[in-house]
Structure 1
Amino acid sequence: MALIEIDTLSVTFTAKGRPVRAVKGVSLNVAQGESYGLVGESGSGKSTILRAICGLAPVSGGTIRIGGQPLPHPRGPAFSRQVQMVFQDPYASLHPRHTIDRTLSEPLAIHGIGNTDQRVTQALNDVGLPPNFRFRFPHQLSGGQRQRVAIARALMLEPSILLLDEPTSALDASVQAETLNLLNRLRAERGLTFLMVSHDLAVIDHMCDRILVMQHGQAVEELPREALARAEMKTDYARSLFAASADRMLGA
Structure 2
Amino acid sequence: MALIEIENLSVTFTAQGRQVRAVENVSLSVEARESYGLVGESGSGKSTILRAICGLAPVSGGTIRIGGAPVQRDKAFSRRVQMVFQDPYASLHPRHTLDRTLSEPLAIHGIGDADARVVQALRDVGLPTSFRFRYPHQLSGGQRQRVAIARALMLEPEILLLDEPTSALDASVQAEVLNLLARLRAERGLTFLMVSHDLAVIDHMCDRVLVMQHGRAVEELARDDLAGARMKTDYARSLFAASADRMLTSS
Instruction: Tell me the TM-score range normalised by the shorter chain.
Output: over 0.9
Number of the residue aligned with 2:149: 151
TM-score by length of 2: 0.99
Q: Which runs of 5+ in 2 are unaligned?
A: none
2:28 counterpart of 1:56? no
Q: Deviations over 1:188-207 (max 9, x none)?
A: 00000000000000000000
Residue 25 of structure 1 and its aligned partner are, at CA, apart by 0.1
Find the partner of 1:189 among 184, 187, 190: 187
Following superposition of structure 1 onto structure 2, how do residues 196-211 of structure 1 map, counting pairs within 5 Å? 196-211=194-209
Q: Deviations over 1:123-143 (max 9, x none)?
A: 000000111110000000000
Q: Deviations over 1:95-128 (max 9, x none)?
A: 0000000000000000000000000000000000
Number of the residue aligned with 1:17: 17
Residue 15 of structure 1 and its aligned partner are, at CA, apart by 0.5
Q: CA RMSD of the aligned region, Å?
A: 0.4
2:140 counterpart of 1:142? yes
Q: Deviations over 1:8-33 (max 9, x none)?
A: 00000000111100000000000000
Number of the residue aligned with 1:29: 29
The letter for the 2-side match of 1:11 is V
Distance 1:248 1:40 in 2: 15
Number of the residue aligned with 1:110: 108
The letter for the 1-side match of 2:57 is A
Residue 250 of structure 1 and its aligned partner are, at CA, apart by 0.5
1:180 match: secondary structure: helix
2:83 counterpart of 1:85? yes
Identity rate, percent? 85
2:232 match: secondary structure: coil
Distance 2:56 2:83 in 1: 12
The letter for the 1-side match of 2:32 is Q
Number of the residue aligned with 2:68: 68
Distance 1:239 1:180 in 2: 24
Distance 1:191 1:76 in 2: 23
Residue 237 of structure 1 and its aligned partner are, at CA, apart by 0.1
Residue 76 of structure 1 and its aligned partner are, at CA, apart by 1.2
1:178 match: secondary structure: helix
Distance 1:194 1:89 in 2: 18
Distance 2:116 2:127 in 1: 14
Number of the residue aligned with 1:131: 129
1:204 match: secondary structure: helix
Distance 2:196 2:113 in 1: 36
Residue 87 of structure 1 and its aligned partner are, at CA, apart by 0.2
Q: Deviations over 1:49-86 (max 9, x none)?
A: 000000111100000000000012xx111110000000
The letter for the 1-side match of 2:39 is V
2:237 match: secondary structure: helix
Residue 47 of structure 1 and its aligned partner are, at CA, apart by 0.2
